[in-house]
A and B are shown apart, each in its own frame.
Chain A
Amino acid sequence: MSPSEQTHHFRRLVAIWTALSVVADVVFYFAVGPHVPPGAMTTSASGQQTDFIVLFMIALPVMLAVWVYMAYALIVWRGSGAGADDPEGGAKARGHLGIQVGWIATTTVIVLGVFVYGTVELIVPAGAGGGEGPSPIWTPASHDVLPIQVIGQQWQFTYRYPTFGGFETRQLMLPVDTPIAFHVTSLDVIHSFWAYQLGVKADANPSSDNIAFTTAKQLGAFTVRCSELCGLWHGAMYNFGRVLPKAQFFAWAQSTERQNAANTKLLPAFSYTYVPDANGADGGYYPDNVDPYSNVEQYGATTPSGK
């Protein structure tokens, strides 16, 4: 194969690829970009959206490169029946140092670039809405953070507001423009708190406080679903929430605190983790109201009914 033939194929491929990549990236950015999940309702959601758009705009040319090349090869270099066993390529077809080095270098640069960008996108929006465990590193700049506890259990999510007396509700109300810290825990098995439009996802592990941050920027409703298989009704474990203006949120919180005061007294004292009782995952093995780490262990649990 002569060098001019090689360049001829190569130039054609580069031309087709460049044209397609530019068109695809532009179309994607303008037509699809604003609609990329999870939307821009919160700082974490819009950070994830931007990250997805950037990654896709890098991925599109990469995928197009392979597809354009393959389509070209499969059409231009198909062999016909007669002479199909004749050799091709010559001795030089076993490898080419320049191409190999070039490929490795290009992929390495792309990968490292994506890594740096991803890390920045993770750190800047205070952890990008993902659960950071009990000692988060990337926290919101402001100190005025509203803590909300998310309790996952088989099979519902409930929410407790420690700054309002620790009342518990099944509807998640949030104030807009306020940094929020979700403290996600579980009473029994592993669940995962996924507030879709908020761009928050944090696993609910028993005896564990998993903290995720976000700040809502827009008003509106959002869905919460469990995204870690937790048993029978995992598929039915969802509820809804709302982002409210600040004044409305405080009004709601204070009135709910007042209305629920009698119920709140009956709940366990607010804590960032809870040890399950006889109704939890251990199914009655550990007796109620006994500290499992204490020296005095009483085996032979009481039944849930207390008999």
Chain B
Amino acid sequence: MALDMRASIGAENVGGTPPPRTSIRRRPGWLGPHVGRALAGAVGGYAFGHWVGNLIAAGYINVQGNGQNDVATVLGLSIGVVGWLAGAGMLDYPLARIVGREPLPPTPSKSWTRYFGPALDHKVIGLQYAVVVLLFFFTGGLLAMAIRTELLSPTSHVLGPGTYISVVGEHGTIMMMMASSIVIGPLGNWLVPLMIGSRRMAFPRVEAFSLWIFAAGYLVILTALPLGGFPTGWTGYAPLQTQAGAGMDAYLVGFAVIGIGMICAGFNLAVTIINYRAPGMSWGRVPIFVWSILATAALLTLATPTLVAAGLFGVLDRTAQTAFYVNEHGGSSYLWQNLFWFFGHPEVYIMALPGFGIVAEILPVFTRKPLFGYRVAAAGMIGVALLSFFVWQHHLFQSGINPDMRPLFMLTTELISIPTGFIFLVGLGTLWKSKIRYEVPMLFALGMFFNFLIGGISGVFLSDVPVDVTVHGSFFVLAHFHYTIMGGLVFAFFGGLYYWLPKMTGKTLSRRLGKWHFWTMFIFFNLTFFPLFFVGLLGQPRRVFEYAQNLQVWNDFSSVSAFCLGASFVIFVVNFVWSIFIDPRPAPPNPWHSLGLEWQTPTPVPPYNFTRIPVVLADPYHYSRTDPKPVADLGPRTLVLAGTVPPGTSEAVGTDVTGEEGSADPRPPIA
């Protein structure tokens, strides 16, 4: 064999050395690592950290007389996260290695309980991510319903002012953090290895770690509410941040924690895509979704460290009495703004790019045409990722930055709309003289195009400095980013879910409920957010609970539509639960007749993905030929790898993992 992979897949006694001593006794059942034990670890860790904080910083209070010790809160949350990770079994491997022992690998399990604990199979982790991400999304959605309830009346109030801005901040933070992981997690982790013909992700333990730390981050952000909430909105501007109550610590620690998860997920995906592509998968044959994930992974890895640093400075300001963001002591309130938006702008492209990738995958399947302008699409994604680092000051146009920066950032922001527009070129070109099948994933993809057009064009308005003077900080901005992120990414995500769930779960989702879901979501989404453009133009700022009387009609229309939009997700949940748990119908291996490599596997996909590593022969978009080339040879022979015999001849030695001719290794690749 060209490469001896036996050691890396856990084949015992490679090389004949005695097996090393193992530590970490495997605990049975309930005492093993799982979400319940993680929760126990989190609670215990929080209590311990809080106690240590009170011990080492006794009597320290941020604001005179309020009895709030930020050191205790920060330490409690941080050690709580460590406790959560320990309970989930994330620390077993590093701890064992530190003391020089071999950790026991997790017992491969076939039962449904394996979804509640740490896993190394990227498909299990992908489904765990799907549940976690949907949980984030629905939590944020409920908070949005609370916001729209408050905004029903300009003068009578359902929530107090402090509660209201805390709810706004929670909604924003949970949605932004959810949206960063929404595609990377469930779809990226599940699909990328299958799409590139690999058996695994590059770093399976890091993949599990990033999932569990995302879940920890969600709990930390939620903890802000009982701690009193944070008053800054998701943007966290200093010095309001420095002045705020204990909930602010949850925000800062939550960002740091989620940031670490994002960095880990990012480099994991990037390394997998670069190094684990099957033989024959040149860069010109990589599916467009994988390109979008690669561009996103680059942004995740490179932009997020700035956020972690900015959050750390904020924590230090609030606990160690440093003055990074405090003007009076030589710091600057501009510093947080710049650091945050230096991360924040690539962050929104982290959210937009995977949406482009999903619709570019869906469109060819349901138009039976190849993707138009594949290279343009890939170049556009890389271009967007690169340019996204050069536009962040458009969030700061009126903040008093050096005035000659403004035309510069206006130029870069407007230039980024060119590669962003490539997805429309590719989509429209694919629709030309096609045969469109209106299945549910296709509907969501088309809805994404409609919404993102409005979102993107409104972005051009915002990038223009004079118009930005009118609309910055108003509901116009809000409508813009809801159209791009929710109208773009969330629609694409649901399209992707409907498209890939038959492969991921092996069950068919109801088509009728899916169409109901799409139409209600699409109509009510537009009815909710389109009026908000006008509300902003007419002078309503963001995050206010009182607004001009004459805007009440618009706000009420938007609120009622928002309630209906929330209800539309009930249809999805009903479809999901019914079709997967209550009355499941098995799905065929390739219900959409897609040419993608991930669809060439049986359903359910075996733990090791491919019996033999495929040799890729073509990109998955050859829909226009009557006899399309198979995208890969799934039963290749070794001599192909050695380069001496072309594929399809009769000489044979199998490339299966044991090196024996013609047999498939049924063991999972990571034992």
Given A84-B435, A235-B544; A128-B465 close (CB under 8 Å) = yes
A78 vs chain B, min Cβ distance (A): 5
> Do residues A52 and B435 form an inter-chain contact, with CB atoms below 8 A?
no
- Collect the chain B residues with CB atoms within 8 Å of residue A104's CB: 376, 418
Q: How large is the interface on B (under 10, 10 to 19, 20 to 34, 35 or more residues)?
A: 35 or more
Give the interface centre of B404, B450, B537, B624 by most chain A CB atoms within 10 Å.
B624
Query: What 1/0 mask marks residues of chain A from 168 to 208 whose CB sits below 8 Å from any chain B CB?
Result: 00000000000000000000111010101001111101111
- Collect the chain A residues with CB atoms within 8 Å of residue B446's CB: 70, 74
> Do residues A47 and B466 form an inter-chain contact, with CB atoms below 8 A?
yes
Residue in chain A with minimal CB distance to B329: A292
B428 vs chain A, min Cβ distance (A): 6
Contacting A at CB under 8 A, from B39-85, are 62-64
> Do residues B369 and A89 form an inter-chain contact, with CB atoms below 8 A?
yes
- Collect the chain B residues with CB atoms within 8 Å of residue A196's CB: 539
B543 vs chain A, min Cβ distance (A): 5
The reply on A251 being an interface residue by CB < 8 A is: no
> Do residues B623 and A122 form an inter-chain contact, with CB atoms below 8 A?
no
Tell which of B230-238, B559-567, B579-587, B652-660 binds the partner.
Answer: B230-238
Interface size on A, residues (CB 8 A): 108
- Collect the chain A residues with CB atoms within 8 Å of residue B441's CB: none
B20 vs chain A, min Cβ distance (A): 53
Query: What 1/0 mask marks residues of chain A from 84 to 109 whose CB sits below 8 Å from any chain B CB?
Result: 11111111011110011001100110
A56 to B334, CA, bound (A): 32
A56 to B457, CA, bound (A): 9
Residue in chain A with minimal CB distance to B370: A94
Query: What 1/0 mask marks residues of chain B from 11 to 52 whose CB sits below 8 Å from any chain A CB?
Result: 000000000000000000000000000000000000000000
Given A100-B373, A281-B239; A131-B417 close (CB under 8 Å) = no
- Collect the chain B residues with CB atoms within 8 Å of residue A231's CB: 165, 231, 240, 243
B417 vs chain A, min Cβ distance (A): 6
The reply on B333 being an interface residue by CB < 8 A is: yes
The reply on A28 being an interface residue by CB < 8 A is: no
The total of Cβ contacts below 8 Å across the A-B interface reads 321
Residue in chain A with minimal CB distance to B164: A235
Residue in chain B with minimal CB distance to A207: B327
B318 vs chain A, min Cβ distance (A): 12
Tell which of A158-166, A219-227, A254-262 binds the partner.
Answer: A219-227
> Do residues A189 and B240 form an inter-chain contact, with CB atoms below 8 A?
yes
Contact with B454, one of A63, A78, A84 (Cβ below 8 angstroms): A63
Contacting B at CB under 8 A, from A18-71, are 36-38, 44, 47-48, 51-52, 55-56, 59, 62-63, 66-67, 69-70
The reply on A236 being an interface residue by CB < 8 A is: yes
A258 to B374, CA, bound (A): 74
> Do residues B541 and A194 form an inter-chain contact, with CB atoms below 8 A?
yes
Query: What 1/0 mask marks residues of chain B from 297 to 336 whose CB sits below 8 Å from any chain A CB?
Result: 0000000000000000000000001000011111001100
The reply on B407 being an interface residue by CB < 8 A is: yes
The reply on B472 being an interface residue by CB < 8 A is: yes
> Do residues B434 and A89 form an inter-chain contact, with CB atoms below 8 A?
yes
Given A63-B454, A74-B436, A282-B328; A205-B333 close (CB under 8 Å) = yes
Residue in chain A with minimal CB distance to B536: A37
Query: What 1/0 mask marks residues of chain A from 128 to 153 whose CB sits below 8 Å from any chain B CB?
Result: 11111111111000000000000000
Given A51-B466, A207-B328; A122-B398 close (CB under 8 Å) = no
The reply on B467 being an interface residue by CB < 8 A is: yes
A161 to B544, CA, bound (A): 29
The reply on A115 being an interface residue by CB < 8 A is: yes
The reply on B516 being an interface residue by CB < 8 A is: no
> Do residues B400 and A205 form an inter-chain contact, with CB atoms below 8 A?
yes
Given A94-B372, A95-B372, A132-B400; A70-B417 close (CB under 8 Å) = no
The reply on B429 being an interface residue by CB < 8 A is: yes
B279 vs chain A, min Cβ distance (A): 23
- Collect the chain B residues with CB atoms within 8 Å of residue A202's CB: 398, 400
> Do residues A77 and B436 form an inter-chain contact, with CB atoms below 8 A?
yes
Contact with B367, one of A88, A96, A189 (Cβ below 8 angstroms): A88
Query: What 1/0 mask marks residues of chain B from 515 to 545 whose CB sits below 8 Å from any chain A CB?
Result: 0000000000000000000000111011111
Contact with A91, one of B326, B474, B624 (Cβ below 8 angstroms): B624
Contact with B242, one of A226, A235, A281, A292 (Cβ below 8 angstroms): A281
The reply on B411 being an interface residue by CB < 8 A is: yes
Query: What 1/0 mask marks residues of chain A from 225 to 241 whose CB sits below 8 Å from any chain B CB?
Result: 11111111111100000
Pull 26 A–B residue pairs with CB atoms less than 8 Å apart, ordered by A. A48-B466, A55-B464, A66-B453, A73-B431, A79-B434, A79-B435, A84-B368, A85-B368, A87-B625, A87-B626, A88-B368, A89-B370, A93-B432, A96-B372, A103-B425, A115-B410, A115-B411, A118-B407, A119-B410, A133-B401, A190-B238, A202-B400, A205-B399, A229-B542, A232-B165, A233-B161
Q: Interface residues, chain B, CB within 8 Å of chain A?
A: 62-64, 161-162, 164-165, 231-233, 235, 237-240, 242-243, 321, 326-330, 333-334, 337, 367-376, 397-404, 406-407, 410-411, 414-415, 417-418, 421-422, 424-425, 428-429, 431-438, 446, 449-450, 453-454, 457, 460-461, 464-470, 472-474, 537-539, 541-548, 593, 621, 623-626, 628
Q: Which A-B residue pairs are the 10 nearest by beta carbons?
A: A79-B435, A227-B473, A235-B544, A210-B400, A128-B466, A207-B327, A133-B400, A203-B399, A227-B541, A189-B240
Known: A59-B461, A66-B424, A87-B624. 15 other contacts (CB 8 A): A52-B467, A73-B428, A93-B432, A107-B417, A133-B401, A207-B327, A207-B328, A229-B543, A233-B161, A235-B547, A275-B328, A282-B243, A283-B63, A283-B243, A293-B330
